[in-house]
Amino acid sequence: MSTAPSVIHPWVAQWQTKPGFAVSIYPNPPDWPRFIAHVQWMEAHGIDAYFSYDHPAANADCWTALAALAASTSTIRLGTAIDCVYYRSPYMLARQAADVDRISGGRLVLGIGIGDLPKEFADMGLEYPAAPIRQRALDEALTILRGLWSGESFSHKGEQFEAHTDGTFLPPVQQPHVPIIIAGGGEKVTLRQVAQWADASNMGAHESIGGAYQPTDVARKFAKLDEHLAAHGRPSESVLRSQFTMPLIVSETRAALEKKMAAMPQDVLAWCGAALFAGTPDEAIAFYRDLWDKGFQYFIANILAGDEESVELLAEAIIPAFA
């Protein structure tokens, strides 16, 4: 079975000449009516996608959130940022993802990765394998996803996972396929996996999201990704370069921004380090223009819960600058 996508996904092709913007709120807001209304507002104001975190202790499961949004929105794309390959069996992940794609009418983007929080694994009663084992698990899980979604008979019994179907597994409806994002910036394995399996690569300026700190890091990683793509017979433009801003904090003025940041959890801001961007709309526009010039094409803005102002300014002041 071929693993690499054989065509450039329309969602990827859409962002070759202008940047796309998406939002991910952490943690998942606990007020469901307000959360759904907020994502509906994003949909109406030009935000391309909403990505749900896969941290089950953070108020809600990502697939529960996406199912609710799939039934209550009509055009905004819905994705995971980033689904951990160990938190569900690959069979169950294939089922949940296919269901959300069907409920939404083919709007799912599956972001998937190997997980990087040992405490979260422990809280869920899961072992935390070494990175090479987790990387092999991702290859297996993607093999199973592709096989179950094929609509054909399929069987896999591997090192870590097993799944089977006689061809009756109800697949996603999206054509030509559900786009897959693989998170991380590892140049030997992760970016090889992107080239082999994915439609998008996602990274940012933090060790937990790929270590793309400096322009030289970004250039090196993109060059390595292109090498892997060539080895799999794929053109460079077949993989979307996505950047994760963790978090994006925007206010109309510097004084308002400083006041807002002072009220935010300081330990969270400190942990985010260089991945955090805080500024006025004009400064954010300059920030994203610089990232676009470096080769990024799509931007997922992580918004801390309660900071609706940053979402509004993203939609009303930042995105229009790139129209």
Instruction: Give pLDDT, residue 4.
Output: 84
Instruction: Give pLDDT, residue 219.
Output: 98
pLDDT digits (tens, 9 = 90+) for 226-276: 999 999 999 999 999 999 999 999 999 999 999 999 999 999 999 999 999
- Tell whether 4 is covered by a domain: no
Instruction: Give the model's confidence band at 2: pLDDT under 50 very low, under 70 low, under 90 confident, else very high.
Output: low
Maximum Cα–Cα distance for the chain, whole Å?
62
Q: What's the CATH number where 167 sits?
A: 3.20.20.30
pLDDT digits (tens, 9 = 90+) for 73-103: 999 999 999 999 999 999 999 999 999 999 9
CB within 8 Å of 311: residues ≥ 6 apart: 23, 38, 41, 42, 47, 301, 303
Instruction: Give pLDDT, residue 185.
Output: 96
* Residue 211 CA, distance from chain mean position: 16
> Which candidate, 96, 92, 91, places its Cα nearest to that of 79?
96
**CA–CA dist 291, 2 (Å, integer):** 33
pLDDT digits (tens, 9 = 90+) for 263-311: 999 999 999 999 999 999 999 999 999 999 999 999 999 999 999 999 9
- Tell whether 5 is covered by a domain: no
**CA–CA dist 189, 136 (Å, integer):** 10
Q: Do residues 83 and 111 touch, judged by C-beta distance below 8 A?
A: yes
- Tell whether 268 is covered by a domain: yes
| pLDDT tops 90 at residue 171 | yes
Instruction: Give pLDDT, residue 3.
Output: 78
- Structurally, the chain folds into a number of domains equal to 1
Instruction: Give pLDDT, residue 57.
Output: 92
pLDDT digits (tens, 9 = 90+) for 43-82: 999 999 999 999 999 999 999 999 999 999 999 999 999 9
Instruction: Give pLDDT, residue 79.
Output: 98
| pLDDT tops 80 at residue 1 | no
**CA–CA dist 244, 217 (Å, integer):** 15
Domain that holds residue 148: 10-322
- Tell whether 2 is covered by a domain: no
- Tell whether 69 is covered by a domain: yes
- Tell whether 1 is covered by a domain: no
| Average pLDDT over the chain, rounded to an integer | 97
- Tell whether 205 is covered by a domain: yes
26: which DSSP letter? E
Instruction: Give pLDDT, residue 64.
Output: 97
- Tell whether 3 is covered by a domain: no
Instruction: Give pLDDT, residue 160.
Output: 98
